[in-house]
Amino acid sequence: MPKTKYVITASLQLMLLSFFISACSKNDSTPPPDPCLGVNYTIDYFKTESVGGANNGTIAINYPVGDTISYKLNNGTFQTSRNFTNLAPGNYILTVMNQNNCTDTITIAIFDYGPKYALVRSLIAGYCGPCHYSGGNTAGKNFDADANIVANWDRIKARAVDNVPSQMPLAPNAPLTAVDKQKITDWVNAGHRQSD
């Protein structure tokens, strides 16, 4: 039986070598994991509204806080302080950033309260919860939203100032002081608007 000779040329050797190198080498490098994947913050804050058209609103961040967290409003620069002061009425985009440059944002509105309304709003927050504030809806009245306070100005005065048909807050709680009743009366007489 005749023997067959195989001649491997240099070009065939190069082609085979190239095939084996490409088949055995790893050239599909996996990118490093994204350090920001899944980073979400439940941003918790406290704010005060601007009163009387002045730039005196504030935002204080309660969470997240820490040495590796920084904050900015709108297009400002990041800062380590979690407090923002001297804010004009308006909408602010708060950005929170961690040490890996991962960010999360929330929009916070600073409202413009008139000085008389600001006092009434504070009274309602102090006296009317939990029945009519912080989610309370006793007798169908909830005063979490400014619009609800303004729309119910007459009812607020009748119950809290005039005690008609009975005092608010309800007994056995003490009625409002004369000073606090006067704050409501002054707001009502000024026009009972959010801007008063």
pLDDT tens-digit readout, 95-150? 999 999 999 999 999 999 999 999 999 999 888 878 898 888 888 999 999 999 99
Q: Which residue has the higher pLDDT, 191 or 10?
A: 191
In a domain, 34, yes or no: no
In a domain, 25, yes or no: no
* Residues spanned by the domain of 162: 114-190
In a domain, 179, yes or no: yes
Structural domains counted in the chain:
2
In a domain, 14, yes or no: no
| Same domain, residue pair 66 and 127 | no
| End-of-domain residue from the set 97, 112, 127 | 112
| Same domain, residue pair 125 and 62 | no
Got the DSSP string for the chain?
A: -PPPP----HHHHHHHHHHHHHHHS---PPPPPPTTTT-----EEEEE-EETTSS-EEEEEEES-STT-EEEETTS--BS--EEEEEPSEEEEEEEE-TT--EEEEEEEE-EE-HHHHHHHHHHHHHSTTTSSTT--GGG---SSHHHHHHTHHHHIIIIIS-SSS-SSPTTSPPPPHHHHHHHHHHHHHTS-TT-
Nearest to 166 by CA among 158, 154, 174: 158
Assess whether pLDDT exceeds 70 at residue 9. no
In a domain, 159, yes or no: yes
In percent, how much of the chain has pLDDT > 90?
62
| Same domain, residue pair 50 and 106 | yes
Query: What pLDDT shows up at residue 180?
Result: 95
| Same domain, residue pair 103 and 138 | no
In a domain, 18, yes or no: no
Nearest to 143 by CA among 158, 157, 129, 154: 129
| Same domain, residue pair 97 and 59 | yes
In a domain, 1, yes or no: no
| Same domain, residue pair 144 and 172 | yes
| Same domain, residue pair 147 and 121 | yes
| Same domain, residue pair 174 and 152 | yes
| Same domain, residue pair 134 and 104 | no
| Same domain, residue pair 184 and 119 | yes
Distances (CA, A) of 170 to 90, 120, 167, 181, 194: 36, 18, 6, 15, 25
| End-of-domain residue from the set 66, 85, 112 | 112
Assess whether pLDDT exceeds 60 at residue 1. no
pLDDT tens-digit readout, 51-88? 988 899 999 999 999 999 999 999 999 999 999 999 99
Query: What pLDDT shows up at residue 18?
Result: 64
pLDDT tens-digit readout, 151-175? 999 999 999 999 998 888 888 888 8
CATH code, 98: 2.60.40.1080
| Same domain, residue pair 56 and 66 | yes
In a domain, 195, yes or no: no
Q: Which residue has the higher pLDDT, 136 or 177?
A: 177
| End-of-domain residue from the set 60, 93, 112 | 112
Do 143 and 126 form a contact (C-beta atoms < 8 A)?
A: no
Query: What pLDDT shows up at residue 106?
Result: 97
C-alpha–C-alpha distance, residues 137 and 148, integer Å = 11
| Same domain, residue pair 133 and 101 | no
